[in-house]
Amino acid sequence: QFFEVPFDSNMNRTKNRPLVRGQISPLLAVCFAASCGVPGIALLTLAVNPLTGALGAFNIFLYTCCYTPLKRMSIANTWVGAVVGAIPPVMGWTAATGSLDAGALLLGGILYSWQFPHFNALSWGLREDYSRGGYCMMSVTHPGLCRRVALRHCLALVGLSAAAPLLDVTTWTFPVISLPLNLYISYLGFRFYRDADRSSSRKLFFCSLWHLPLLLLVMFTCKKSLLEQEDKDLLAESHGRAVEMRLP
């Protein structure tokens, strides 16, 4: 918001932000951001693990120094912004496990793909606003691509859900139970792609608001239990020892 005051003042959705209205000073805003960001990264690094802290620091850099300026330069900002949104659940995984493995990438992938139908549908109804603010958004400069990308990532959620048991993150119940959720958002994504109007974009956007919590709740209930994981690890370990014993 510190960087975007002149542009936010031209948009209806952002013209009442505190910095735009002069309710707080730019110096106070920067000090507040630093007083949250620096101790936050230190806390993650020292009290959780260095990997999680590094991801947090990288995400702040990616948002402020890459995504924010890109919004006025290229539609690539949406893809960079999706990475920013995908990193927090990855941090949750690394905080719990200390490793950046398949489960972390799967969670990040789900959040990454979900953001395209969510944001592209939202931005469709804000095209005039973004145009006034001088922001380079797909919905303004590439409306056809905006709708196609939203539909592609709705369908990608089906594939990512199917990959969860293959990566040993959930049981096979997850892709089955999540299929109706993913098919419904894909149907709305197709309607948005075909109709290209405010009604279809609004329906897709509001669906995205309840789709993600439900999908993650189903994923949580279908996760592989710790006992299953431990049994599998013990089986693999005993198999390895048996192989070693047979070797001369």
Compute and round to an integer the Cα radius of gyration of the chain: 22
Structural domains of the chain, count: 1
Task: Report if residue 136 sits inside a domain.
Answer: yes
Task: Report if residue 238 sits inside a domain.
Answer: no
Domain that holds residue 209: 81-224
Task: Report if residue 119 sits inside a domain.
Answer: yes
For 123-187, what is the HEC assignment?
HHCCHHHHHHHCCCCHHHHCHHHHHHHHHHHHHHHHHHHHHHHHCCCECCHHHHHHHHHHHHHHH
pLDDT recorded at residue 134: 83
Task: Report if residue 73 sits inside a domain.
Answer: no
Structure confidence by residue, pLDDT tens digits, 72-89 = 899 999 999 999 999 999
Task: Report if residue 239 sits inside a domain.
Answer: no
Structure confidence by residue, pLDDT tens digits, 121-177 = 999 988 888 888 888 889 999 999 999 999 999 999 999 999 999 999 999 999 999
Structure confidence by residue, pLDDT tens digits, 24-33 = 899 999 999 9
Which CATH number characterizes residue 139's domain? 1.20.120
Task: Report if residue 199 sits inside a domain.
Answer: yes
Distance of alpha carbon 119 from alpha carbon 209, whole angstroms: 11
Distance of alpha carbon 109 from alpha carbon 112, whole angstroms: 5
Single pTM value for the model:
0.84
Task: Report if residue 188 sits inside a domain.
Answer: yes
Q: Collect contacts of 231-240 with beta carbons under 8 A, ≥24 apart.
A: 232/168
Kindly report the number of other CB atoms within 10 A of residue 5's CB atom: 16
Q: At what angle do helices 198-221 and 143-166 cross, to 10 degrees?
A: 10
Task: Report if residue 26 sits inside a domain.
Answer: no
